[in-house]
Structure 1
Amino acid sequence: MNKTIALISEHASPLAMLGGVDSGGQNIYVGELARQLAALGYAIDVFTRRDDPKLPIGVQWLSNVRIIHVDAGPPKQLSKESLFQYMDAFTESMEAFMARQPKRYALLHANFWMSGYVAMKLKERLGVPFVITFHALGKVRLMHQRENDKFPEERCDVEAQVMQAADGIIAECPQDEADLTQLYRADPDKITMVPCGFSPHEFHPIDKAYARMLLDMHPTRKIILQLGRMVPRKGIDTVIQALTQLRKESIDAQLVIVGGEYEKPHLHADLEYRRLMEMATELGVADAVSFEGRKNREQLKYFYAAADVFVSTPWYEPFGITPLEAMACGTPVIGAKVGGIQYSVANGKTGFLVRPKDPQALARKLELVLKSEDLQLYLRQNAIKRVNECFTWKKVAQQMDEVYRRLTAEQLDVKDDDKRIIATAFLEAADTFRLSADSLTDAILRAGNMLAKAFEKGGKVLVCGNGGSAAESLHFSAELLGRFEMPNRVGLPVISLMADQAMLTAWSNDIGFNDVFARQVEAYGRPDDVLMCLSTSGNSPNLLEAMEKAKQLGMVCLTLLGKDGGQAAVRGDINLIVPSSSTQRIQELHLHIIHLLCTIVERRLVNYSVRRQAATLSSSLVQAVDLSVSQNGNPKPDYVKQKSDIFG
């Protein structure tokens, strides 16, 4: 299969500094899609307009991704509203570049309506099929911007022509799909819904106190974050107005605003910043509003993590990537019920949705979230789960790969398909390990220390699981009953409840499988022993019954789980929940965690063997002396004192 693809993005280059009026979500979309497609074996050229005479024609951005700077109009920064007049020149320059390439492009992927115009013309001339992601639609923009819309009048007509000519159309969310079919009468058979995404490498949970320390933020004050381009339609004024309502409710909150053209906002140069500052001053909340200016991508995760809640309340939004990034960092989102935000934010589960331009409704939801730490925790857990299951750039690229393959009417041969499966599995495993390292390190330390203390007190560990987890339970017991890394240590009392096959088969056949583990817990368990349960779902009835019995006996319950933890997470004293919905990835991490627990236990019990051997030797000596005394008469007083001193 020819996997050479041209991404066209006339005004939004992956190399551009984000945060400006014309740089934001589309830049990220194009760059991350190119990156992930390259990981799937594609060779990607991104065509964008040269806006600086110093830029070379081509930049090798990644090993399989080039950025091609196309001559179209003066090589300087221009507003995107003024670029359409240069799109014929863009088409000619791009066609000339394509003619010099040794390999024909299999497909063009246009981003935005002007790039769609270029792709349409190239299809007419060269016969190369194209797919388009509009990112925003002219008719929707006109509804909200009206006379403030500065794009050419012919935009909507060009969009309709592009939809007719396109081989495929990407809708980013259900609202986008509805707008395409209802406002433009686009062919539904051409439309595929593929959302935007986020990168787990960039955005993941970080300790809030640590993030605030790095950013020099108040450690306990409630922080509301707004992050994005500094333009009126983003609705930052709505958040400032809502802040006045919170102040009336005696909520000590600070609004942190990140974004804009400059690293430090300028009153004279940035009209939107000046307007918002004047509004905050008039409303009496200027002391609670902080404008942080433009920040680089490496800094953004700390702002997301430092916030108690992220707010995104634009008038309209084709999709909106920042809510995904916030949720990936574990920050609840209150968003406007528009465009893609109403699709990505699960109302009541990962955050809340409110009407745009409604500061009272926003204030009520902010008050609800800021006053309840339990609600924040609930929203945090659901947010992390949702975005990692539905909205990673890797998943976006996989869905786009299916679109490309269908449009080019080619299928990967078996060898290529197997390679793709293997590469995807490695990427998924790496992401799961990285996310687990961020979210589980402290809990694994607590679990290891708890196991070590149980052994030190003479307790034991009972471990159980089903299927693949059953094998891992046997593995864990073998590592500690035998040895893991430390030679010549005593065996540690770990019993796998899967080991007694006679009990399992007889009991499950005669009585039932639900309490095959609970029965053994009842027989072997003692107060302060540990029951360790492994499950990918956390909802297996036999594990839940065993945990119930362990609780009745005063045992400690340790769980290794996945997905959302299921019912077992409610019963567990320490829960190690792998942040993945894939059974394979969860079990891989469980084995890794088992090895980490073995390491911690052995490190904590480095002197355990010596103490046990000393105790055994001392006990033997006492028994020998006692026997001698019993045979030879009453002990001498100094012996009685010595025995008491040594053995208490």
Structure 2
Amino acid sequence: MKRIALISEHASPLASLGGTDAGGQNVYVAQVARHLAELGHTVDVFTRRDAAHLPQVMNWVPGVRVIHVPAGPARVLPKEDLLPLMGDFTRFMASFMAREGQYDLLHANFWMSGLVAADLKRQLGVPFVITFHALGKVRRLHQGEADGFPDDRFAIEERLVREADRIVAECPQDEADLRDLYDADPARIVTVPCGFDPAEFTPRGRREARIRLGLDPDETVVLQLGRMVRRKGVDDAIRGFARATRQLGIPARLLVVGGNSPDPDPALTPELGRLREVAREEGVEDRVTFTGSRERAHLRDYYSAADVFISTPWYEPFGITPLEAMACGTPVLGAQVGGIQYTVVDGVTGALVPPRNPDALGERLGELLADPARRERMGQAALERVRTHFTWEGVARQLAEVYREVGEEVERVIPALALHSGHRAAPDAAVERAFGNLIATLTRARSELQPQIVAAAGAIVACFERGGKVLVCGNGGSAADAQHFAAELVGRFLIPGRRGLPVISLTADSAMLTAWSNDIGFGDVFARQVEAFGQPGDLLLTISTSGRSPNIVAAMEAARARGVTTLALLGGSGGDALVLADLPLLVPSTDTPRIQEVHILALHLICELVEEQISAGVPAHLPTALPASVRLTPPGSTPLISAPTSSAQGVNV
């Protein structure tokens, strides 16, 4: 078990939520700290002291202390003003660690906390990971001159991307922004989403929840809940609500929950004054209720009371409130941005609309309000999705796995952590670290993937013997692996003279890929080819280090719809592809290069086994002596092989 310091300079786990600077990051830090402690780790949360009565060290929950850092005046300050205080923050932490002992790892939250962690790493050699929660270049793109952070933020974030031992992206869009805008090394990015706590958010009876809140139990209720800042798009929610209710002519009510205090006074929360004016302009002032902030214990009733939850920010690094609404069985109407487009499945758990488009919002809201049965189905699907993929327990387990991998690197390459005067680690240390990581991953994969590799080869042989063909696809390096695999089986791998085998790489037709992606979009570029070539009895092999690529997921969905067996080489948690794979091979690592290297080995082994069986005339059936984890079922129903029971698997995220 590890001793971990969570650094969160402006977002305390003790803060009341809903104010200008109190929202998702506060929840993230609080829940991660709690659940890491429940896993047996010891956690200290370092946050700036923003009130005079706060003790320096506070025992919060078992295994978690909150350390209030004396940096600047003991009062609330806008986070935009905190950068000059980070030197004092760093000095306090260094002194605190000198007295109470060093931590195994620092987990920084937000870029200013990252600056503290990076400086402590240089001074003391402590490794750090960072969750940015929001990226400065993305914020500036969307907010322009309204962005109050200094331009220094960009250079600091670029430094953190270079120096962090791991960067925790919260969703695929966050990962893409880190790569595209900051040139982040994909090998050091791991995607771990946010979550919800099932003990805190579960469905309650809608009618009973409304009665407890003093609402009309028979009135249609739409909910918007979160921080009252302009980029959250609450004005668009009001305008969309007005359009939908005018169109339907129903007596609905919009609840707007959030603010700097329980009193919805514009003097206390200036944004509320602007929003009240928007409601008046739209003619729905009497049907929009501004509640002010509410205690977290009461939020379950608000989520449960709503027929639809709206979250339509201009941009959103992740977005925790949609998860909480889904956990209460409420469908979400969300903006197609950031993490919301990852957590909300359009048409299944709710609906997605373009940001800053109240007309589209009103149209989709009207559709949902007019169809109670559809809302009920969506609410149930939403509940199942978050319970399966997004829990704080699962988040903590994945983070603990990241910490473990970083710790192993430190133990193997101690010289790499002695960063003198800002110099990078020696090249030979980086080489040693990479070999050590690969050896560790191969050791785990050797025991966990053997039956899956044998079963995969058997399924491919069975496909060929019944007259079927194999389709294979992937992106980037996995695209090259797909073409390599096809070439080995169409041509030969080791055994000369055997017959050519029908394998088509869907990544090899550059005319199809570029024409379709340019004219239509890249999301369906493989699914379209599966529709064209796939027949019942065929097999689709997908290769993805994350399992979250939309075009890979779409291809697997198209395959299952056509009775095509799905075989997937994956890594990390397996992503959405894991549940679509009849035969999943999940590499027990979150390190992209190591996953790719094991994928290549697995593909070579599959080629060797397939060639041997084809050349020897082995009857086309799967092995009969597989472990209990391997089970046989028809294609397109439940998986042919269960996911491996590794520490990477079983993370309920």
Normalising by structure 1, what TM-score?
Answer: 0.63
Residue deviations 1:507-566 (CA, integer Å, cap 9, x gap): xxxxxxxxxxxxxxxxxxxxxxxxxxxxxx9xxxxxxxxxxxxxxxxxxxxxxxxxxxxx
- Cα distance in structure 1, aligned partners of 2:149 and 2:267: 26
Please name the residue that 2:159 is paired with.
161
Distance 1:167 1:383 in 2: 34
Please report how far the alpha carbon of residue 410 of structure 1 lies from its aligned counterpart in structure 2 after TM superposition.
7.5
State yes or no: 1:205 paired with 2:179. no
2:290 aligned with 1:291: yes
**Correspondence for 1:94:** 93
1:311 and 1:582 map into 2 onto residues whose CA distance is 38
Distance 1:411 1:399 in 2: 19
Q: 1:152 to 1:270 in 2, by over 3 A?
A: same
- What secondary structure is seen at the aligned counterpart in 1 of 2:408? coil
2:59 aligned with 1:60, yes or no? yes
Query: What is the Cα-based RMSD across aligned positions, in Å?
Result: 1.8
Question: In the TM superposition, what are the counterparts of 1:196-595 in structure 2 within 5 Å?
Answer: 196-249=194-247, 250-409=249-408
Q: Which residue of 1 aligns with 2:12?
A: 13
Shift of 1:218: 1.1
> Match for 1:351: what amino acid?
G
> In structure 2, how many angstroms separate the alpha carbons of the residues matched to 1:80 and 1:350?
34
Query: Partners in 2 of 1:268 and 1:78 — Cα distance?
Result: 17
Amino acid paired to 2:153: R
Q: Contact between 1:246 and 1:253, CA under 8 Å: does it hold in 2?
A: no
Corresponding residue of 2:182? 184
Is the CA contact (8 Å cut-off) linking 1:25 and 1:321 kept in structure 2? yes
CA distance in 1, matches of 2:331, 2:385: 12
Unmatched tracts of structure 1, length 5 or more: 413-536, 538-580, 584-648
In structure 1, what is the Cα distance between the partners aligned to 2:365 and 2:218?
16
Which amino acid in structure 2 is aligned with residue 288 of structure 1? R
TM-score by length of 2: 0.62
Partner in structure 2 of residue 558 of structure 1: none
CA distance in 1, matches of 2:110, 2:148: 16
Gaps of 5+ in 2: 412-578, 580-642, 646-653
Q: 1-side partners of 2:70 and 2:217: how far apart?
A: 50
The one-letter code of the counterpart of 1:25 is: G
Query: Who is 1:149 aligned against?
Result: 147
1:606-647: per-residue Cα shift (whole Å, max 9, x none)?
A: xxxxxxxxxxxxxxxxxxxxxxxxxxxxxxxxxxxxxxxxxx
Measured in 1, the distance between the counterparts of 2:44 and 2:409 equals 20
Kept in 1, the 8 Å contact 2:261–2:268? The answer is no
Partner of 1:528 in structure 2?
Answer: none
Match of 1:127 in 2: 125
Q: Is the 8 A contact 1:405 1:411 kept in 2?
A: no
1:42 alignment partner in structure 2: 41
Greater than 4 Å deviation, 4+ residue runs: none
Q: Match of 2:620?
A: none
**Structure 2 CA distance for aligned equivalents of residues 154 and 348 of structure 1:** 42
Q: Is the 8 A contact 2:224 2:309 kept in 1?
A: yes
Q: Deviations over 1:249-286 (max 9, x none)?
A: 21321110000001011133322101111111122110
- Corresponding letter in the other structure for 2:117: A
Measure the CA separation in 2 of the matches of 1:269 and 1:18: 15
Q: Aligned pair count?
A: 414
1:104 correspondence with 2:102: yes
Distance across 2 between alignment mates of 1:223 and 1:300: 15
Task: Give SS of 1:109's match.
Answer: strand
1:113 corresponds in structure 2 to: 111
Q: CA deviation at 1:374?
A: 1.2
Asked which structure has the greater CA Rg, the reply is 1
- List per-residue Cα deviations over 1:14-35 (Å, max 9, x = no partner): 0111111001100000000000
**Distance between the aligned counterparts of 2:102 and 2:307, measured in 1?**
50
Check 1:400–1:49 CA distance in 2 against 1; reply closer, same or farther (3 A cut): same
Q: Structure 1 residue 411: deviation in Å?
A: 12
Quick one: which amino acid aligns to residue 355 of structure 2?
P
Partner of 2:29: 30
Tell me if the contact between 2:4 and 2:44 (Cα under 8 Å) persists in the aligned partners. Answer: yes
Query: What is the percentage of aligned positions where both structures have the same residue?
Result: 55
In 2: Cα distance, 1:393 partner to 1:247 partner: 36
Q: Deviations over 1:278-313 (max 9, x none)?
A: 111122110110001100111000000000000000
Distance in 2 (CA, whole Å) between partners of 1:368 and 1:270 is 32
Letter in 2 for 1:233: R
